Amino acid sequence: MWALSEAGTGDLNSRVVIVGAGHAGGSAAAFLRQYGHVGPIVLIGDEPLLPYQRPPLSKAWLKGEADAESLQLKPDSWYEEAGVSLRLGGTVVSLNRGAKTVTLSSGEHLPYDYLILATGARARALPIPGADLAGVLALRSAADAEALKGALGPGKRLAVVGGGYVGLEAAASARALGGHVTIIEREPRVLARVACETLSNFFQDYHGARGVTFELNAGVAGFEGAEGHVTGVKLSDGQVVACDAALVGVGAIPNEELARDAGLDCTNGVVVDIEARTADPFVFAIGDVTHRPLPLYDRQFRLESVPNALEQAKQAAAAIAGRPMPPHEIPWFWSDQYDLKLQIAGLPFDADRQVVRGDVAAAKFAVFHLKGDLVQAVEAVNAPPEFMAGKQLIAKRTPVSIEKLANPTISMKEVAA
Amino acid sequence: MAKITYIEHDGTDHVIDVKPGLTVMEGAVKNNVPGIDADCGGACACATCHVYVDDAWLPKTGDKSAMEESMLDFAENVEPNSRLSCQIKVSDALDGLVVRLPESQH
């Protein structure tokens, strides 16, 4: 069904190799087929699993509300039907751009016409004593989530190192399962790098009211253990937070080594253009591993999100299939914790003022970040209209009335009109 | 299995057997129907799984939650029969369901 046509020269017949079978890589294969690409596609992943959704790992999956099958992007049968050839449990050890081949750990050489790097990012490890004890966990993959799930339950004590989204989501799930949670954060507030102070304080209070304890301004000196298993997290001031397991969520590092070794430009991620192409016209990079242009904000940045993975998967697939580029999207993110739905659109670059709309105490509000009277970003808690309208305002670049924006009795339709 | 027909904006139709318990969105995504991206995987956070439900089927697809209502309020090309397909659970009662996809998602 997907055999090369006799002509065999068009881009739709090209041979595409995708390195990385995560959300980005799996989606690129799917979009190529949607766009009429009929040439061979090889999808290589280092995990022994078909592409799956990672966001639920810290939420529904951890709480036992989703199973492995429901997390899969496509069912097993799709790959054969779509003619996508899989190399799961294998890694690419080298890329030869001159010969247009990649070499797998098995020794197999795969030629390509177009290469898509979708190697993602890995959890940053803490180089401190005890980090290799059993029970010191990360949360990035299904295997990680499986290990963490085993450590949660009624009365179980979880120490979370790092008050970022992964840590907060896992904390909410651990509490839902009846466990005790302490979040240890180096900065004076949680979400310090990724959210404004209003949001940080709100989330800390919300978690605190649901039994999570916090150690802020706290450095971590090491992990303590007994018989090879973690028993506590030792803080810089000497205090020990006793635990049955420790989750380290202190950011991610892009898996850019393959690209860098092949001479491609990397700066906190593989540098790509607005079509997800590297400086090599036959090599694309997509998803968490990329350092990509953000035209709206006039800068390059590395994003870690599913919408980013999908947007760039579409760009690479459209470029290879010779389709018009999809429209640029506003970066956006979401997080579910307890009964809270956090939706964020845009990034607060160059913002010079914040407008809070709604009632923080009632857990229904949004923080708008503006540059003059232009909305740069919005962080919305249980406030979908603010998120949706905010996203449109960011895209349209039309000035808003600060007075109307700050007044929740005036609808977002009117504010955005 | 419930037979669901997804009709793309250009008229291309996809007839798919969807397992009860999945959502109408999942039936599309797992079968690579173009036009339903479902960025958020069904968290009702993105409105990229917008569909029009054939009028005859509207009563059977259930009511919209407040969350879905307010997401749809700001989606593009919204009609009275607009739904977010991640919020419609498939059951045997939906065997034969027809949904159309909006232009804005393609």
Give A65-69 contacts, CB < 8 A, sequence gap 24+. A68/A142
Q: Which residues of A touch B41 (CB under 8 A)?
A: 53, 55-56, 306
Q: Which residues of A touch B73 (CB under 8 A)?
A: 385, 388, 413
**A384 in contact with B at a CB cutoff of 8 Å?**
yes
- According to the 3-state scheme, what is the secondary structure of A170-199? HHHHHHHCCCEEEEECCCCCCCCCCCCHHH
Q: Which residues of B touch A2 (CB under 8 A)?
A: none
Residue ranges of B 65-104 with Cβ closer than 8 A to chain A: 67, 70-71, 73-75
A230 pLDDT higher than 90: yes
Q: Average pLDDT across each block of 10 residues of chain B; the chain has 106 residues. List them in order.
A: 95 95 95 91 90 94 92 92 96 96 76
Q: Which two tokens stand for residue A278?
A: 């590297």
| pTM score | 0.94
Q: What is the pLDDT of residues A293-348, one digit of tens each?
A: 999 999 999 999 999 999 999 999 999 999 999 999 999 999 999 999 999 999 99
Please state the rounded mean pLDDT for residues A183-191. 97
Q: Which residues of A touch B86 (CB under 8 A)?
A: none
Selecting from B30, B45, B47 the residue whose C-beta is nearest the C-beta of A74 gives B30
Exposed/middle/buried for residue A371 (C-beta within 10 Å: 0-12, 13-18, 19+) = middle
Per-residue pLDDT band for A130 (boundaries 50, 70, 90) equals very high
Selecting from B37, B43, B71 the residue whose C-beta is nearest the C-beta of A336 gives B43
- Tell me what percent of the residues of chain A surpass a pLDDT of 90: 94
**A222 in contact with B at a CB cutoff of 8 Å?**
no
Task: Look at residues B21, B84, B46, B47 and name the one whose alpha carbon lies nearest to residue A55.
Answer: B46
Best residue in A23, A32, A34, A67 for a mutation probing chain B (most B CBs within 10 Å)? A34
Beta sheet of A16-19, edge-to-edge order: A84-88, A41-45, A16-19, A114-117, A283-285
> DSSP class of residue A212?
-
Query: Could you report how far apart the first and last alpha carbons of chain B are, in Å?
Result: 27
Rounded to whole angstroms, how far apart are CA atoms A368 and A394?
10
Instruction: Give me the residues paired with residue A97 across strands.
Output: none
Selecting from A70, A74, A334 the residue whose C-beta is nearest the C-beta of B45 gives A334
CA triple A169-A175-A180, angle to 5 deg: 115
Q: C-alpha distances in angstroms, B103 versus A118, B47, B61?
A: 29, 13, 22
Contact between residue A380 and residue A387 where contact means Cβ atoms under 8 Å apart? yes
Selecting from B32, B37, B75 the residue whose C-beta is nearest the C-beta of A310 gives B37
Are A53 and B41 in contact (CB < 8 Å)? yes
Per-residue pLDDT band for A156 (boundaries 50, 70, 90) equals very high
Query: Helix A197-209 crosses helix A165-176 at what angle (to 10 degrees)?
Result: 20
Please state the rounded mean pLDDT for residues A367-382. 98
Q: What pLDDT sits at residue A8?
A: 34
- According to the 3-state scheme, what is the secondary structure of chain B? CEEEEEECCCCCEEEEEECECEEHHHHHHCCCCCCCCCCCCCCCCCCCCEEEECHHHHHHHCCCCHHHHHHHHCCCCCCCCEEEHHHCECCHHHCCCEEECCHHHC
Are A78 and B32 in contact (CB < 8 Å)? yes
Q: Which two tokens stand for residue A407?
A: 């007044």
SS3 A48: coil
Number of Cβ within 10 Å of residue A207's Cβ equals 23
Q: What pLDDT sits at residue B106?
A: 53
Q: What pLDDT sits at residue B105?
A: 60
Are B74 and A384 in contact (CB < 8 Å)? yes
Per-residue pLDDT band for A1 (boundaries 50, 70, 90) equals very low
Rounded to whole angstroms, how far apart are CA atoms A281 and B27?
36
Residue ranges of A 36-95 with Cβ closer than 8 A to chain B: 53, 55-56, 70, 72-75, 78, 82
Q: Which residues of B touch A329 (CB under 8 A)?
A: none
Mean of per-residue pLDDT scores for chain A: 95
**A339 in contact with B at a CB cutoff of 8 Å?**
no
Contact between residue A73 and residue A53 where contact means Cβ atoms under 8 Å apart? yes
Exposed/middle/buried for residue A61 (C-beta within 10 Å: 0-12, 13-18, 19+) = buried
Are B70 and A388 in contact (CB < 8 Å)? yes
DSSP A343-391: EEEE--TT--EEEEEEETTTTEEEEEEEETTEEEEEEEES-HHHHHHHH
Q: What pLDDT sits at residue A68?
A: 87
Write phi, then psi, for A255 (nearest 5 degrees): -85, 75
Write phi, then psi, for A371 (nearest 5 degrees): -115, 105
Per-residue pLDDT band for A7 (boundaries 50, 70, 90) equals very low
Q: Which two tokens stand for residue A21?
A: 């079978």
Are B32 and A307 in contact (CB < 8 Å)? no
Q: What is the pLDDT of residues A88-98, one digit of tens each?
A: 999 999 999 99
Q: What is the pLDDT of residues A54-77, one digit of tens each?
A: 999 998 899 888 888 889 999 999
Are A412 and B41 in contact (CB < 8 Å)? no
Task: Look at residues A40, A50, A54, A46 and name the one whose alpha carbon lies nearest to residue A19.
Answer: A46
Rounded to whole angstroms, how far apart are CA atoms A290 and A313?
12
Best residue in A78, A329, A340, A388 for a mutation probing chain B (most B CBs within 10 Å)? A388
The interface predicted TM-score of the complex, written ipTM, equals: 0.92
Q: What pLDDT sits at residue A9?
A: 35
Contact between residue A233 and residue A246 where contact means Cβ atoms under 8 Å apart? yes
The per-residue b/e assignment along A375-384, b for 16 or more CB within 10 angstroms, e otherwise, is bbbbbbbbbb
- Tokens 């980013």 locate to A308
**A278 in contact with B at a CB cutoff of 8 Å?**
no
Instruction: Give me the residues paired with residue A43 across strands.
Output: A18, A86
**A213 in contact with B at a CB cutoff of 8 Å?**
no
